[in-house]
Amino acid sequence: MTETKALLECVPNFSEGRDLEKIEKIVAVFRGRDGLRLLDVQADPDHNRLVVTLVGTPEALRPALIAAVGVAVAHIDLRCHSGQHPRMGAVDVIPFIPVRQITMPEAVALSRDVAQEVAETYELPVFLYEASASSPTRQNLADIRRGEFEGMADKLRLPEWQPDFGPAEVHPTAGVTAIGARMPLVAYNVNLASADLAVAEAIARKVRFLGGGLRYCKAIGVELKERGIVQVSVNLTNFSRTAVYQVLEMVRSEARRYGVNVAGSEIVGLVPMAALIDSAAYYLGLESFSMDQVLEARLMD
């Protein structure tokens, strides 16, 4: 019997969504590697952000990520970077998500090993976050990123914000990186038929948990200048407890206060099937529906 190998998903985010040459240099690192599969590449010029989705063994992921960080550090200069998505580093965040035959503690151990090697190899300050965090105050990525690249120099001077690995000063061009292990996250954006950023920001404040909204929801307002509209950009950190349809319906409800319609929505990167099935069951009014009734789910058993 063939031994089943441990697999993780990894979704590194790079602060470059416009320069196709730089994007290709980063993505090329992940191609043609044994034990590693490049599942998805999404480059967003408005956010000026590259999101790469990988799945592979720990042994294959580690060297590929170390190499990709090197490419990003060499080619991305945050002093010249602007975009709608908050960012603090050329490699902004590297999350590890257990998929098969690997526990969360093992994923945490891998994230710490990668963080240490990245810090030592490229003299890059690295914070551990989510399940890998060294303290409860560092679990939330938004708390670590607050201040972004421009405010990190002052932040790292504070005793409570010393990096977990690497120098206690910002890399002059590549900034700061966060690395950690977490559960699957759904990146979901709702586009509004409006060009008023203040409306999107007001709705985001109502929708996100910190504003009294949905429990496992993080949200910000974003301007999509090329399309002439604004967006409520959402991260769902536990889609089984806060569903995608709940986000859409709450955004719609809040948008009505401003006389604004929802123009559409989008998923960024890959999404667990269960997250979409949950919303499909809601909108179709299905009773007692389960994943066991999905043909593709049964075929993958």
Please give the positions annotated as active site. 85
Query: Residues with Cβ < 8 Å from 137, sequence gap 6 or more?
Result: 143, 160
Q: Which helix (H) or strand (E) holds 218?
A: strand 217-224
Q: Classify 198 as helix, strand or coil.
A: helix
Q: Which helix (H) or strand (E) holds 188?
A: strand 186-192
Question: Which of 182, 153, 185 lies closest to 170, judged by CA?
Answer: 153
Q: Classify 101 as helix, strand or coil.
A: coil
Strand partners, 220: 233
Question: Which of 84, 95, 53 lies closest to 191, judged by CA?
Answer: 84
